[in-house]
Amino acid sequence: MTFPTEFLVGAATAAHQNEGNNVNSGHWYQENLPGRPAELRSGDAVDMYHRWEADLDLLVELGLNTFRFSLEWSRIEPSEGFFSRAEIAHYRAMIEGCFARGVTPVVTVLHFSLPQWFEARGGWLAEGAVELFERYVAAVAPILTDVPWVVTINEPNLMAIVPVFEKMIAAGIPIRGLPMPDPEYVPSAIAAHRAAVRALRAGGVPRVGLSLAMHDFIAEPGGEAALQAHRAAAEDQFLDATEGDDFVGVQAYTNLRFGPEGVLPPAEDAEKTIVGWEFWPNAVVTAVRHAWEYTGGRMPVLVTENGIATADDSRRIAYTRAALTGLEGLIAEGVDLRGYVHWTYMDNFEWMGAFGPTFGLVAVDRETFVRTPKPSARWLGRVAAANAIVD
C-alpha cells in the first residue's frame, strides 16, 4: 500500500530546543538563575540558528519532504514593542530555504518559549496578555502567507498543564502521570489560539490550525469515569476550540491509564522509553482517530509530532513503522490524514530532561555539533521517497 499522493513525511523541531542562545526567553532566564545546574541549560542547543541551511540540505539528502520549525517570539520581539526586522527576515529565509529545496514548511508561531519580558509582566494570566500575543502574531503573518501549514500554538493544552507541574514541584509533590490542565489557564490558552487565527487570517495566511498533545486513553477496571473526565478537560475542550480552523495537528507518544482515582503509573511490565513512557505506537493512531471523529471529520488532520526517546535506534524504527502502519489503516478507512511529521529531527534540548532523552533521527556531537543520521533517519527518508512503508 502507498500513502495518498502528496502525503507529507518529515521531521519536526522547535526553536528553543534547537537554535541555541535564546537569551531573551523566559526559559533561558529560568535555566540561568544562580544555582541552576549548568547541565540543565539549553545553551547553544544544536546551534540550528546558524546551521539551518546545512540541516535542510541533510533533510533533503535523507529523502524527507517536510520540515516543521517554530518562530521564536523572544528573538522577534526581544523587548516589548520592538519587532526585529532582522529576525523576521531570518525566519523568512528559512521558509524560502524550504521552498528552494522542494521541502514543505510547517511553521509553528509559538512553541512553549515566551519572551522574558512577557513572563515578567505576569505571563498568560496578566491583563492584556492575549492582545500582546495577537500583536506578535500580526507582525509575523506577512512572512507566512505562502506557508501551507501554520500552527498557531504548540499544544495549548499542555501549556495549560505546565503551571500545575510548577505548583507541584514548588510544593514538593511528586509528579505521577499527567495532571489535568489548570482551569485558570485554559481560557487564556484558548483565547490566544483564537486571536492567533484571527491575526493570521487577517494577514492572508491560507491554512491555520493548532497542535494538541494527545494520548491513547486506557481504562483499567473502574477507570472509565476518570478517563472520560480527563479526556474532556485535556483534549476535548481544546478540540472544541478548533471550530472554524483549517486543520488539526495531532501529537501523541504514549498511553494514559486510568483507575477509579484517576491517572495510573505506566504498566510495570511494559517496555519504557528514556522518559519513562510506555512504548506505545498505537498512541498516534488512536489520537488521530479521536481528533477526526470528535471534530466530525470537518477538517484534515496532520500528525505534527510522534516519536520516542530511546538509545536503541532499532526500537525507534519499530515504533515508527507500527505507528505508520496504523495510520495507513486510518487513511484506508477514510480519515483525511495529510502527513506524518516525526519528533524530532535531531537529538536536542528536551526541556526538563535537558539533553538526556534522545528523540532524534539524527545524532549530534555536543562538542562539534556534527550531525550523524541514525538508521531511523535513512529509513524514514526511504518511506518518504517511496511514499510507502518500506522494509
Per CB under 6 A, contacts with ligand BGC among 303-322 are: 305
Render 86-107 in DSSP notation, one character per residue: HHHHHHHHHHHHHHHTTPEEEE
Q: Report how far residue 264's alpha carbon sits from residue 279's, in angstroms, rounded to the nearest whole number.
A: 16
Q: Which is nearer to ligand BGC, 267 or 274 (CB)?
A: 274
Q: Which is nearer to ligand BGC, 83 or 165 (CB)?
A: 165
Tell me the per-residue interface mask from 187 to 226 with ligand BGC, x by CB under 6 A, - otherwise: --------------------------x-------------
Tell me the per-residue interface mask from 248 to 287 with ligand BGC, x by CB under 6 A, - otherwise: ---x------------------------------------
In this chain, which of 13, 25, 152, 154 binds ligand BGC, going by CB under 6 A?
A: 154
Q: Which stretch binds ligand BGC (CB under 6 A): 62-70, 151-159, 215-223, 332-340?
A: 151-159
Q: How many CB atoms lie within 10 A of CB 183?
A: 11
How near is the Cβ of 154 to ligand BGC at its closest, in Å? 5
Contact predicate 260/304, CB 8 Å: no
In this chain, which of 109, 140, 158, 299 binds ligand BGC, going by CB under 6 A?
A: 158
Q: How many CB atoms lie within 10 A of CB 7?
A: 20
Strands (E), 20-94: 66-70
Instruction: Determine, following the binding rule CB under 6 A, whether residue 350 of this chain makes contact with ligand BGC.
Output: yes
Per CB under 6 A, contacts with ligand BGC among 39-68 are: none
What 3-state class would DSSP assign to 153? strand
Q: Which stretch binds ligand BGC (CB under 6 A): 31-39, 55-63, 118-126, 150-158?
A: 150-158
Encode burial over 207-231: b for 16+ CB neighbours within 10 A, e otherwise.
Answer: ebbbbbbbbbbbbeeebeebbeebb
Residue 91 to residues 27, 69, 88, 171, 297, Cα–Cα distance (Å): 20, 10, 5, 40, 33
Q: What is the dihedral of CA 93, 94, 99, 101, to 10 degrees?
A: 110
Instruction: Determine, following the binding rule CB under 6 A, whether residue 31 of this chain makes contact with ligand BGC.
Output: no
Q: Which is nearer to ligand BGC, 112 or 292 (CB)?
A: 112
Which of 31, 87, 134, 155 is catalytic? The answer is: 155
Q: How many CB atoms lie within 10 A of CB 244?
A: 12
Per CB under 6 A, contacts with ligand BGC among 73-112 are: none
Q: Report how far residue 205's alpha carbon sits from residue 59's, in angstroms, rounded to the nearest whole number.
A: 25
155 is catalytic: yes
Contact predicate 292/214, CB 8 Å: no
How near is the Cβ of 16 to ligand BGC at its closest, in Å? 8
Instruction: Determine, following the binding rule CB under 6 A, whether residue 15 of this chain makes contact with ligand BGC.
Output: no
Q: Which is nearer to ligand BGC, 31 or 328 (CB)?
A: 31
In this chain, which of 7, 343, 355, 379 binds ligand BGC, going by CB under 6 A?
A: 343
Q: Report how far residue 123's alpha carbon sits from residue 89's, in angstroms, rounded to the nearest whole number.
A: 27
Q: Report how far residue 45's alpha carbon sits from residue 22's, in angstroms, rounded to the nearest whole number.
A: 9
In this chain, which of 155, 245, 278, 328 binds ligand BGC, going by CB under 6 A?
A: 155
Q: DSSP code of 2?
A: B
Q: Please give the size of the binding site for ligand BGC, defined by CB under 6 A.
A: 11
Residue 65 CA to its chain's centroid (Å): 18
Q: Which is nearer to ligand BGC, 235 or 305 (CB)?
A: 305
Mind telling me the catalytic residues? Answer: 155
Residues near ligand BGC, by CB under 6 A: 14, 17, 154-155, 158, 213, 251, 305, 343, 350, 359
